[in-house]
Amino acid sequence: MSGQTRFSILGPGHIAEKVATAAASLRGRGLTLRAVASRDQGRAESFARRFGFERAFGSYEALAADPETDLVYVATPNTLHARHVQLCLQAGKHVICEKPFADNEHDAAAVFALARSLGLFCCEAMWMRFLPAHRRVRELVASGAIGEPRLLQASFAVPVSGKERLIRPELGGGALLDLGIYPVAFALMQFGLDFEETDGVSLPAPTGVDDQTSFSMRWADGRLASLSCSMTAADGAWGRVAGTTGRIELPQLTRCERIALVRHSDGSTETMDFPFDCNGYEYELASAASAVAAGLVEPPEMPHAATLAALRVCDALRARCAAAAALLSK
């Protein structure tokens, strides 16, 4: 490699457009834009032309076989992630894959084991974890700026309509996997991966996926997280962490460019701004490019263990909610 990671996209849908914009902003600064692969050659060509990628492929297999791609960004529907990441890894490519990394923890663990055995970089594109604002929240919490951390709250609730992959179980739909994964990632990032238990309640959509879920997580020392997600409520995405002497507020949980530190003693509020260089997706890409260049198998911001812990929470909640729904239907 020439110091520039040759970057390609598999699945040029809605989110891939934002990631391509961010990738274009890093052109020559760690990335070159190599190729786009779609199941439709015409769609790949128009996407590649729009964002300045060199090549367009009409199949995912052709991209996996491309000798001039180093790093593939996988942006297909949730239940296809594991299959598409494996396709790329087996062809010797490094991979960054959209959230949720897989449908469940078991599948994610198998894919990470494959990546490690091949010495390839592989990570979940949980873009929030790479943002400067979130890094600052973690530093503030660790430095004692809010005293002893006790309670974390977060929610991601937006009415979504007309998006098949969000309501179809076979594409990994549902509020929890698509939206709730962010509050979970936030809680794990701020309170650590070693949670003791999780519990919650879901309301099913007509297709059987969860329409909304309200849930909690508990850590051994008594820290609690109270979290929710919904595909029908209009509450946006927000988060807050409270400790014994104050709290940190994130008015935008995912698209986070501003945080506020509120001190309980005098009620004062300190606002801190972290404007994006581009659209926010550049941080995960820059981190992936440096990790690939450094020969790492995972980035420090998004270790494999964090992806596995988040899916463990989702697995437990989905199992509990399915059992409750089965009892109710008797």
Ligand X SMILES: NC(=O)c1ccc[n+]([C@@H]2O[C@H](COP(=O)([O-])OP(=O)(O)OC[C@H]3O[C@@H](n4cnc5c(N)ncnc54)[C@H](OP(=O)(O)O)[C@@H]3O)[C@@H](O)[C@H]2O)c1
Catalytically active residues are 99
Output 80 or 167, the one with its CB closest to ligand X: 80
User: Of the ranges 6-14, 27-35, 214-222, 319-327, which one interacts with ligand X (CB under 6 A)?
Assistant: 6-14
Judged by CB under 6 A, does residue 12 bind ligand X? yes
Question: Tokens 């969000």, residue?
Answer: 166
User: Of the ranges 10-18, 206-214, 232-240, 301-309, which one interacts with ligand X (CB under 6 A)?
Assistant: 10-18
Scanning residues 30 to 89, which ones bind ligand X (CB under 6 A)?
A: 38-40, 43, 75-78, 80
Q: Provide, rounded to whole angstroms, the least separation between the CB of residue 97 and ligand X.
A: 8
Binding test (CB under 6 A) with ligand X, winner from 178, 210, 211, 298: 178
Output 170 or 196, the one with its CB closest to ligand X: 170
Q: Provide, rounded to whole angstroms, the least separation between the CB of residue 155 and ligand X.
A: 16
Distance separating alpha carbons of residues 226 and 217, to the nearest angstrom: 7
**Which tokens sit at 157?**
């609730």
The residues, ordered by sequence, that sit 6+ positions from 53 with a Cβ below 8 Å of its Cβ are 8, 9, 20, 33, 34, 35, 36, 47
Output 13 or 251, the one with its CB closest to ligand X: 13
Q: Provide, rounded to whole angstroms, the least separation between the CB of residue 100 and ligand X.
A: 7
Q: Provide, rounded to whole angstroms, the least separation between the CB of residue 57 and ligand X.
A: 10
Output 56 or 261, the one with its CB closest to ligand X: 56
In 3D space, the residue among 80, 66, 31 whose CA is nearest the CA of residue 52 turns out to be 31
Rg for the chain, CA atoms, rounded: 20
Q: Provide, rounded to whole angstroms, the least separation between the CB of residue 257 and ligand X.
A: 15
Scanning residues 109 to 148, which ones bind ligand X (CB under 6 A)?
A: 125, 127
Output 64 or 146, the one with its CB closest to ligand X: 64
Longest dimension (CA), the chain: 63
Helix (H) or strand (E) holding 154: strand 149-157
Output 58 or 192, the one with its CB closest to ligand X: 58
Q: How many CA atoms lie within 13 A of 247 on its CB side?
A: 13
User: Of the ranges 5-13, 184-192, 229-237, 303-311, which one interacts with ligand X (CB under 6 A)?
Assistant: 5-13
**CA dist 99 → 29, 180, 245, 272 (Å):** 25, 11, 34, 27
11 Rama class: left (phi>0) / alpha (psi -120 to 50) / beta: left
Binding test (CB under 6 A) with ligand X, winner from 3, 14, 206, 295: 14
In 3D space, the residue among 159, 176, 140 whose CA is nearest the CA of residue 250 turns out to be 140
Residue 322 CB burial class (10 angstroms; 0-12, 13-18, ≥19)? middle
Chain residues in the site for ligand X (CB under 6 A): 11-16, 38-40, 43, 75-78, 80, 98-99, 125, 127, 165, 178
